[in-house]
Every structure is written in C-alpha cells, then in structure tokens.
Chain A
Amino acid sequence: GAVVSQHPSWVICKSGTSVKIECRSLDFQATTMFWYRQFPKQSLMLMATSNEGSKATYEQGVEKDKFLINHASLTLSTLTVTSAHPEDSSFYICSARAPAGGLISGNTIYFGEGSWLTVV
C-alpha cells in the first residue's frame, strides 16, 4: 500500500481562491518532506523543503507567500496555493524520506500519488 499519501488527487478551483494539498507519511515519521511541481510535458521541479516545526525552505523563484507550506506534525505537510491563478495549474507531488532503522526501508524516498490542480 501507499507509504506516502496525497489528498486530493484532483482539484478544480476558481481563480482567486486558495486550495490546500495534504501530504501524509503513513508508516513513518518524516521530519523533512519535499514539494515538487510539474507542468505538462515538463520535468519535476523542487519547490520547497518542508521542515517539521520550522519554516520551509523555498527554492529560488518560488514565492513563499503564494505557496504556503506547513509541517505541523511528523506525518503531515500541507501546501496551500493562495490566490490561485490559471498559471498555477499543474501537477503537485510530495515526497518524504523514511529514516534509517525504521520498519520500512531506511533512507528510501517515497513519493505521494500527486495532485492535479486546475484553476479556472
């Protein structure tokens, strides 16, 4: 079964509204999670590193006030796209690294199923 779960898988929202995407680690605690964005027919680009209990680290060019990341617990990180616009329509996918010594393969990176966002 899934080790990292994302929700929702699909979301359509109106321009100007905000939408939240959740990323959960199901079988392990993840102090660090990662958020990627993939535009159609393009590669996956790292947006930010989500750190449990502290501020996220954003990659160059990613607006931190637009893409709010909250990592309030060791199993949940959320990405909120604020004031969404059609150009934010994309595939968003998260990943988490399982720590060494756990029940599942340590130091393995697991990806969520991804979330398709369409802003109309």
Chain B
Amino acid sequence: GQQLNQSPQSMFIQEGEDVSMNCTSSSIFNTWLWYKQDPGEGPVLLIALYKAGELTSNGRLTAQFGITRKDSFLNISASIPSDVGIYFCAGQRTTDSWGKFQFGAGTQVVVTP
C-alpha cells in the first residue's frame, strides 16, 4: 500500500496561479524526490532533496525537505499550460535499504488558460 500521503489528489488552476502540493508520512526520510509524469511517458525527475530543511529551486519549481523529515512540499509559481501532468513525490525511508523508494499516489495538475 501507499507509504506516502500525497495531497491534493488533483487540482484545477488558471494559468498564472501558483500551485502547492505536499507529501507526508509517519516515517522518517533521508531523501525526497519530486517527479513529473506526462501522459504515455515515464516520470521525469524535477528536484532532489537530501537534507532536512533544504529548500531547492528549479526554475519556477521550489521544493523543501521538511524539518521533521516526515514531509516535503513542491510549489510551482506562475503556472503555464505545459505544467499539466501528474506530479509524484518519492522518499527513501531511513529504515529502507539504500536506494529503495516509496512513492506517493500523485497530484494531477490541470491548467486552464
């Protein structure tokens, strides 16, 4: 079953608006990854986070590794139509073998002009 709680499940926004989504868990993580998946393709890595409190940006995307090490969020600023897709969080728990990741269920983002 899902180890990570990702929310919201979906969001419909207007072009230019900001988007925020997050992942939470009862477990402690040492790595957080954020991916975007377009229809018919595999997920593409957007941002990787390795330290509690770390705040990292990639263009209009910003992600943070929560201080408690149990959560992470992703923000997209000034959304554009090509931001449409499914965004997944993935985390590596401290109790898992190195390299094994848990995935959230995804956030479907729809951007209307």
Asked if A pairs with B, the answer is: no
A residues whose Cβ falls under 8 Å from a Cβ of B: none
B residues whose Cβ falls under 8 Å from a Cβ of A: none
